[in-house]
DNA sequence: CTCCTGAACGAACGATCGTTAGTGTCTAAG
DNA sequence: CTTAGACACTAACGATCGTTCGTTCAGGAG
């Protein structure tokens, strides 16, 4: 609920009064449930972190690297489309977290991105991807597409198909067969 | 100057007092130069729009599509690294623009992204890229990497080399030569 | 029934917000 | 020398901010 307004108007652009009105309640009443506005931001961030990690957990370990990347992209985009508000807070509004909570977010995100990077690194090391693959750049490219998705993904989109289209390009590239190097 | 604080703390997280202090001036004094806080956001957005378009203008028309995409990515990342604050406002803070100015931004961005998409569409139609290329998805992938860059690009990075690394992956893909389809 | 607890209320708090107004000072053109 | 304009100052405006307070009320436990 709070995530929706934070995603819509930004953390600093959303007042306690706005949140209270959205809940049909006086603003003072909110403090029976929270200690501060920061709490609401923190809760939304936690929800996002759990959703993204849970989605990654559904990717089987015993598939080739390419398949795992494709499924990881599917999983990520699904979270964005199904929990757009929470995903938006996780990707964009987290930076208004203060103190330890900002550090906690950064650790959470680092862990998430590292799980992604591992797909590429392991895939190359096992010979399932190009032996000359720049795994850092490749991971960054995919993570960029994933992290930017909240800006354009419509709420009910077919994210599986979209992820597959991204992956097809990523897998084989855009160069024409007959194009000279 | 205003762009720096907007990028750092967000538009709503930056007060007129903050801006005045950064300029070594009393906050009332700012109103000899602007009409409202919105003006500063608008100016930063305009600066960003001009920088990105000017960068795209440096890409020659008479190169193969692949080269133009590579150079466009170079140009974009260079703007992000060299004008990080303004780029951040253009990519993230624009949404706090009100009224006509929000619409103006959207038109500006649509135009920019369309120039990018044209590289892919024309490249495929001319046979310089894969004939079965999903140009919409490919453009979205590159634009995502471009638009996300402000979150991780260090200020003095070698963006040309980075752009080339991205392009190498985009051009030939990540799949191993011996990997079965 | 009484008691306790959780939740909501309405009013108020001090702080800060963006903005305006009136005044003073410096500079450069007439 | 006078004047106009640009720019900075201080002070204050009404509005809104996040938060606290004392109170009321409903419902379940004893």
Q: What is the pLDDT of residues A60-108, one digit of tens each?
A: 999 999 999 999 999 999 999 999 999 999 999 999 999 999 999 999 9
Contact B162 A133 (CB under 8 A): no
In terms of Cα–Cα distance, which of A168, A139, A128 is closest to B176? A128
B131-178 confidence digits (pLDDT tens):
999 999 999 999 999 999 999 998 879 999 999 999 999 999 888 765
Q: Best of B105, B119, B169, B171 to disrupt the A interface by mutation (most A CBs within 10 Å)?
A: B169
Percent of chain B with pLDDT over 90: 92
Mean pLDDT over A117-133 rounds to 95
Q: And the tokens for B20?
A: 């005045």
- Closest partner residue to A174 among B138, B148, B162, by Cβ? B138
More confident residue, B91 or B28: B91
Cβ of B115 under 8 Å from any chain A Cβ? no
Percent of chain A with pLDDT over 70: 97
Note the pLDDT of residue B177.
65
A103-122 confidence digits (pLDDT tens):
999 999 999 999 999 999 99
Using CA coordinates, name the residue in chain A closest to B92: A92
The answer to whether the CB of B14 falls within 8 A of the CB of B6 is yes
Q: How far apart, in whole angstroms, are the C-alpha atoms of residue A47 and residue A4?
A: 13
Q: How far apart, in whole angstroms, are the C-alpha atoms of residue B28 and residue B16?
A: 9
pLDDT band (50, 70, 90) for residue B180: very low
Cβ of B63 under 8 Å from any chain A Cβ? no
The answer for residues whose C-beta is within 8 angstroms of residue B137's C-beta and 6 or more apart is A162, A165, A166, A168, A169
More confident residue, A177 or B130: B130
Q: How far apart, in whole angstroms, are the C-alpha atoms of residue B177 and residue B76?
A: 31
Residues of A in contact with B92 (CB under 8 A): 92
Cβ of A154 under 8 Å from any chain B Cβ? no
pLDDT surpasses 50 at B181: no
DSSP state of B35: S
Q: How far apart, in whole angstroms, are the C-alpha atoms of residue A78 and residue A153?
A: 10
Bridge partners of B175? A129
The answer for residues whose C-beta is within 8 angstroms of residue A42's C-beta and 6 or more apart is A97, A101
Minimal C-alpha gap between A98 and chain B (Å): 12
Q: How far apart, in whole angstroms, are the C-alpha atoms of residue A2 and residue A20?
A: 9
The answer to whether the CB of B104 falls within 8 A of the CB of B48 is no
User: What would you report as the CA-atom Rg of chain B, rounded to the nearest whole angstrom?
Assistant: 19
pLDDT surpasses 90 at B52: yes
Bridge partners of A129? B175
Q: A19 CA, D13 C1': separation in Å?
A: 28
Residues of A in contact with B69 (CB under 8 A): 174
Cβ of B154 under 8 Å from any chain A Cβ? no
Q: A30 CA, D21 C1': separation in Å?
A: 14
A19 sits in which H/E element = helix A16-23
Residues of B in contact with A134 (CB under 8 A): 165, 168-169
Note the pLDDT of residue A17.
96
The answer to whether the CB of B87 falls within 8 A of the CB of B151 is no
A132-162 confidence digits (pLDDT tens):
999 999 999 999 999 999 999 988 799 999 9
Note the pLDDT of residue A181.
47
Q: How far apart, in whole angstroms, are the C-alpha atoms of residue A174 and residue A172?
A: 7
Q: B26 CA, C23 C1': separation in Å?
A: 15
Minimal C-alpha gap between B40 and chain A (Å): 17
> Angle between the A65-82 and A37-57 helix axes, to the nearest 10 degrees?
150
Cβ of B153 under 8 Å from any chain A Cβ? no
Nucleotides on chain D that have an atom closer than 7 A to a protein CB are 6-12, 16-22
The answer to whether the beta carbon of residue B99 comes closer than 7 angstroms to any atom of strand C is no
A56-67 confidence digits (pLDDT tens):
999 999 999 999
Mean pLDDT over A24-48 rounds to 95
Contact B130 A176 (CB under 8 A): yes
For A30-97, what is the HEC assignment?
Answer: HHHCCCCHHHHHHHHHHHHHHHHHHHHHCCCCCCCHHHHHHHHHHHHHHHHHHCHHHHHHHHCHHHHC
For chain B, give the mean pLDDT.
95
The answer to whether the CB of B166 falls within 8 A of the CB of A170 is no
Q: Chain centroid to CA B25: how far?
A: 32
- Residue A75 has phi, psi (to 5 degrees) of -60, -45
Mean pLDDT over B51-70 rounds to 97
């Amino acid at each position: 609920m709070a995530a929706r307004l934070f995603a819509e108007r930004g953390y600093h652009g959303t007042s306690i009064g706005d949140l209270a009105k959205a809940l049909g309640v006086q603003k003072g009443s909110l403090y029976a449930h929270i200690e501060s506005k920061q709490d609401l931001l923190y809760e939304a961030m936690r929800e996002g972190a759990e959703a993204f990690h849970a989605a990654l957990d559904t990717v089987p370990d015993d598939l080739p690297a390419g398949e795992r990347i494709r499924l990881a992209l599917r999983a990520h985009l699904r979270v964005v489309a199904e929990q757009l508000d929470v995903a938006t807070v996780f990707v964009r509004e987290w930076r208004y977290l203060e103190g330890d909570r900002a550090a906690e977010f950064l650790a959470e995100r680092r862990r998430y991105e590292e799980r992604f990077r591992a797909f590429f690194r392991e895939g190359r090391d096992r010979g399932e991807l190009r032996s000359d693959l720049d795994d850092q750049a490749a991971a960054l490219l995919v993570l960029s597409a994933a992290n930017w998705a909240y800006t354009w993904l419509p709420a009910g989109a077919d994210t599986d198909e979209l992820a597959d289209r991204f992956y097809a390009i990523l897998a084989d590239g855009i160069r024409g067969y007959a194009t000279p190097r």
